[in-house]
Amino acid sequence: MQWVIGGLILVTVGVVLRLVLHRGFPVKPRVSGLAPLRPDLHNIYQPLAQEIEAQATILGITLNDAFGEREANRLEMAWHVVGLAMGEWDRLTGLVVGLLSTLAKYVPTTNVIVPMRRVAANHFKSRAVIDYVGLYEFLDQVLFSSKRRFSLQLRVLFRTCALLTKEFRRTCREGERTLDSSSEVWNRLDSYFHDFDLIAKETLLAFRTVLICHPPEGLRVLATELQHLLERGVRVSIPATHQ
């Protein structure tokens, strides 16, 4: 009789453990991609994101044209096109840096922020950026406050953008002066663009995070400030939000 009671106890404990550990139950599949924003948040996000993505595309196409001229051995024209790309780079920098500065300003007024993902050094190509972001990865592990970690992420994106811009301009000036056709220099240009495009995408992810975590009563002020980023030669605008 005692062994029957003992067996029932073991079965009961096993059932409880299965419930606690969720074993034996179907797991709902995770939905890939980003969750859609609420309509009011989408109205704030989409125009600025559209402009940044358009500028990044224009920059990429311009640099591709420069690479085409270089492959055709028209080096003077190739570096002239790179000079045009530098102007596109500066326009994109203005948008990305402006957005990062605005996000940093509004982080303290948001609710609890959980970064969508951490900026990883192994996603980048240029050595200077890999080394800098590697330092950030170490600091990120010793911060426990989600807002501090998110603020650190914004600072890393801001400073990495400045670092890439400095290196890109220096390479452009030197290459245009010497009409350099070496693979080393042109690979650097390709790496700088890859990393800058990644910074722009990470900035848009941070933008989504701030929007989701921002109190509804403050959205109108945030939208108005973001509108100023799109006032110079833009093709889209941010609609006013309704509280």
Domain ranges in the chain are: 39-230
Q: Count of H helices and E strands in the chain?
A: 7, 0
Is 230 strand, coil or helix?
helix
Give the closest residue to 119 by CA, choosing from 48, 192, 195.
195
Residue 15 structure tokens:
């059932």
Q: Distance (Å, rounded) from C-alpha 199 to C-alpha 56? A: 11
Percent of residues, the chain, with pLDDT higher than 70:
75
Angle, in degrees to the nearest 10, between helices 127-141 and 146-178:
170
Is 70 exceeded by the pLDDT of residue 67?
Answer: yes
The Cα–Cα gap between 89 and 242 comes to: 34
At residue 175, the pLDDT reads: 94
What pLDDT is attached to residue 89?
96
What is the pLDDT confidence band of residue 85, given thresholds at 50, 70 and 90?
Answer: very high
Is pLDDT larger for residue 127 or for residue 74?
A: 74
Q: Is residue 31 over pLDDT 50?
A: no
Tell me, what's the pLDDT at 102? 93
Determine the pLDDT at residue 83. Answer: 94
Distance separating alpha carbons of residues 206 and 47, to the nearest angstrom: 16
> Once rounded to an integer, what is the mean pLDDT over residues 115-141?
77
Q: Which letter, b or e, does each residue of 71-97 get, where b requires 16 or more Cβ atoms within 10 Å of its Cβ?
A: eeeebeebbebbeebbebbeebbebbb
**Amino acid letter at 215?**
P
